Structure 1
Amino acid sequence: MATQGSGRRAEYAAATRQAILAAARQLFVERGYFDTRVEDIARAARVAVPTVYAAGGGKSGLLRTLIEDGVHAAEAGGIHDHIAAQTDPVALLRMIVDGTCDEFGKWGPLMRQVTAAAPKDAAVRESLGLAHASLRAGLAATASRLDELGALRPGLTVPEATDVLWYFLGNGSYFTLTDDCGWPLERSTQWLYECLTTTLIDGGAG
C-alpha cells in the first residue's frame, strides 16, 4: 500500500508540475515575461503560490525548465542520429529546414517573448542561450555532415557553413519573414530551403 500511495503522490506531483509549466508558458506568451506574476501562474494552474516556487523556483526557473524540456525533447528525437544517417545532401537540408520550421511553429510564440525580455534580464538571457546552443549544435552537425558528403561549395569551411545555417534558420530569420514581412510559415520555409541549397551545396539544388 505504501508503494501505491507513493506512486499516486508522484503522479500528482508530475501533473501539478505540468499544470504550472503550461500556465507559465501560456501567460508568458499572452502577457510577456515581465508582465506575468508568479501569483498569476498560481491562479491559472489552480495551485498555491508556494507550490509554484517549489515546482520551478519562480518565473526564471519555470522559463528555464520550459526551454530545457524543449531541448531534451528534441535530443530524445534522435536528431543527431538522423543527421549522421543522411547520405543525400539536398535531403539533409530539407530535413533540417523542415525540422526548424516545426520547432518554430511550436516554440515561436514563447521565443518571441524570451527574445524581447533577454536584454533586460540575465536569467532570461541564460535560458535563451540554452536554446541557441541546442539549435547551433544541430546546425554544426549538419554542416559537418555536408562536408563529409563532399557537398559544400568549394572554399566554404564547416564553421562558415554553420554560420550560414544559423543566419537562415535561427529564430531571427523566422521572425523577420513571418512577423515583419507577413509571409506564411510554409512560404518562409520553402524560401529558406531554396536559399540554403543555393548557398551551401556545390552545384546548388542540382
Structure 2
Amino acid sequence: MSSVVDKIHVMTNEPDGAAAPGRRSEYAQLTRQAIVEAARELFTRKGYFATKVEDIAKAARVAPATVYAVGGGKNGLLRTLIEAGAKDENIPQILARIESITEPRDLIRFVVHTTRVKFEEWSGLMRQVAAAAVQEPGVRESERIAHEGLRGGLALTARRLMEMGAFRPGVDVDRATDLLWIYLCNAAYFIRTDDLGWSLDQSETWLNETLTFALLGS
C-alpha cells in the first residue's frame, strides 16, 4: 500500500495547474485504492469494531471526510472489499474451468484446491467479518454477499457432476450443493484450521477423500 500512498503524495504536491483532467481521475482512483487497502489491512489486523475511520484515514494519508466520501465509511469499505473478492478477475477463469473438466474426481480436486487457495487469501478478513456479523447488520450483509459468491460456484460444480452422471444414489444437485457447502465454506475451514489445528495440506487431502465418497460413492 505504501507505493499507492506515496504516489498520491507526489501528485498532491504538483504545481498549481499541473493536474490535467486525466491526472485528477488517476488521483481519485489512487486515493480510493489507498483507502480500500488501508481498510483491509486494519480490519484484518485489528478487527472491524476496533478499527476507526480515523485509523483508515491516517493509514491512507487522507482526511476522515475523504474516507466517508470515497469509501462510504467502514460499512461501505467492507462491502467494497467483499464485492471485489466476489468479482475478482480470476473468477471467470475458475467458472470456465469448472465447466470444462470432464472427470468427476478431477472436478472435486479442482474445487477443493480452489477453495483452499481462496481461504488462504481471504481468511484473515473473513475471520473478522464472521466475528462482527453477529452484532452488525451491515457486516452481515457483506458476509451474505461472500457466501452467495461461493455457493454459486459450488452449485455450478454440483450441476456439472449431475451432467456427468457421477452422483451416488440418493444425491441430487441440491444435496450435493449442500454437501459441498458443509465441507468448503469458511466456517468449515475455520473449524479444521483454528479448532483442530489441521494444516491446509491435511485439510485438502481429507477433503478430496471425504467429498469424493460423499458425492460419488466408492
Paired with 1:154 and 1:116, the residues of 2 have a C-alpha distance of: 38
Note the 1:19-168 alignment, pairs <5 A. 19-73=34-88, 76-168=91-183
SS state at 2:87 partner: helix
Paired with 2:37 and 2:114, the residues of 1 have a C-alpha distance of: 23
Paired with 1:69 and 1:55, the residues of 2 have a C-alpha distance of: 16
TM-score (norm 2): 0.89
Structure exhibiting the larger radius of gyration computed from Cα positions: 2
Deviation at 1:80, TM superposition (A): 2.1
Paired with 1:165 and 1:192, the residues of 2 have a C-alpha distance of: 10
Counterpart of 1:40, as a letter, is D
Aligned pair count? 201
SS state at 1:35 partner: coil
Q: Relative to structure 1, is the Cα distance of residues 115 and 74 closer, same or farther in structure 2, using a 3 angstrom cutoff?
A: farther
Which position in structure 2 is the counterpart of 1:5? Answer: 20
Residue by residue, what CA displacement relative to the aligned partner does 1:37-63 show, whole Å, maximum 9, x if unpaired? 000000011111111111110000000
Percent identical across equivalent pairs?
54
Residue by residue, what CA displacement relative to the aligned partner does 1:139-163 show, whole Å, maximum 9, x if unpaired? 0000010010011111211100000
Paired with 1:139 and 1:154, the residues of 2 have a C-alpha distance of: 19
Q: Alignment RMSD, CA only?
A: 1.4
Paired with 1:108 and 1:132, the residues of 2 have a C-alpha distance of: 13
Which position in structure 2 is the counterpart of 1:169? Answer: 184
TM-score (norm 1): 0.94
Residue by residue, what CA displacement relative to the aligned partner does 1:13-71 show, whole Å, maximum 9, x if unpaired? 11111111111011111111011100000001111111111111000000000000111
Paired with 1:66 and 1:41, the residues of 2 have a C-alpha distance of: 14
Deviation at 1:74, TM superposition (A): 5.6
Counterpart of 2:179, as a letter, is V
Q: Which runs of 5+ in 1 are unaligned?
A: none
Which position in structure 2 is the counterpart of 1:192? Answer: 207
Counterpart of 1:26, as a letter, is E
Q: Which runs of 5+ in 2 are unaligned?
A: 1-16
Paired with 2:183 and 2:94, the residues of 1 have a C-alpha distance of: 19
Paired with 2:204 and 2:168, the residues of 1 have a C-alpha distance of: 22
Paired with 1:17 and 1:80, the residues of 2 have a C-alpha distance of: 29
Paired with 1:65 and 1:186, the residues of 2 have a C-alpha distance of: 31
Paired with 1:76 and 1:38, the residues of 2 have a C-alpha distance of: 30
Residue by residue, what CA displacement relative to the aligned partner does 1:118-156 show, whole Å, maximum 9, x if unpaired? 010110000000000000000000001001001111121
